[in-house]
């Protein structure tokens, strides 16, 4: 199949890539741009491991065709969370609270939590639960994840 030239804004930079038209955003991020922080999970929209932000909203990159995105859309992956050497408060809090064990779900959960904390830095436990409802974690039991989001929110106030 003929590759298609795509222009994508990812983590504040513009990239032009030649991609298979049927490839998902997840495939383009990982295979064309080398951004392997975003994880392949179920590829069925059920686990949330592939979550990235598009214009501030969490989206499942395994179900998103980049050919349908506006080339001005701002895509943020887990690699775009830190600002230079400064980790995002969520990354710091996840490390402090041991909210990542195997870590496979962590990039997706960080992005879903970032979207929440960009909206409010005083989220209730219910709002946190809703924000990460689409992100499966088989290791942590979620308690440490909620505590880490809480801690990051407090530091962002
Ligand atoms: S890999 Fe996208 S939801 Fe599971
Ligand atoms: S830390 Fe292993 S799946 Fe969440």
Position 135 scores a pLDDT of 98
Confidence of residue 9 (pLDDT cuts 50, 70, 90): very high
| Domain assignments of the chain as residue spans, ordered by start | 4-80, 89-156
Please determine, for residue 120, whether its predicted confidence score (pLDDT) is greater than 80.
Answer: yes
Position 5 scores a pLDDT of 94
Position 1 scores a pLDDT of 72
Q: State in words which class domain 89-156 has.
A: mainly alpha
Position 83 scores a pLDDT of 84
Q: Which of 27, 39, 44, 112 to mutate to test the pocket of ligand 1 (most atoms within 8 A of CB)?
A: 44
In CATH, 4-80 is 3.10.20.30: yes
What number is the average pLDDT over the span 127-143?
97
Report the alpha-carbon distance of residue 21 to residue 74 in Å, rounded.
Answer: 20
Q: Which of 25, 46, 112 to mutate to test the pocket of ligand 1 (most atoms within 8 A of CB)?
A: 46
**What's the helix, strand, coil split of the chain in %, to 5?**
40, 15, 45
What number is the average pLDDT over the span 131-149?
97
């Amino acid at each position: 199949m003929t590759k298609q030239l795509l222009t994508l804004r990812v983590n504040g930079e513009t990239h032009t890539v030649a991609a298979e038209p049927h490839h998902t955003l997840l495939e383009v991020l990982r295979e064309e741009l080398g951004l392997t922080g975003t994880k392949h999970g179920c590829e069925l929209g059920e686990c949330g491991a592939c979550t990235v932000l598009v214009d501030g909203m969490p989206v499942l990159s395994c179900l998103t065709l980049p050919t349908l995105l506006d080339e001005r859309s701002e895509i943020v992956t887990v690699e775009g969370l830190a600002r230079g050497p400064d980790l995002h408060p969520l990354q710091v809090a996840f490390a402090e609270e041991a909210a990542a064990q195997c870590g496979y779900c962590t990039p997706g959960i960080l992005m879903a939590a970032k979207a929440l904390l960009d909206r409010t830095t005083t989220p209730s436990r219910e709002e946190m639960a809703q924000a990460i409802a689409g992100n499966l974690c088989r290791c942590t039991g979620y308690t440490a994840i909620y505590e880490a989001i809480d801690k990051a929110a407090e530091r962002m106030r």
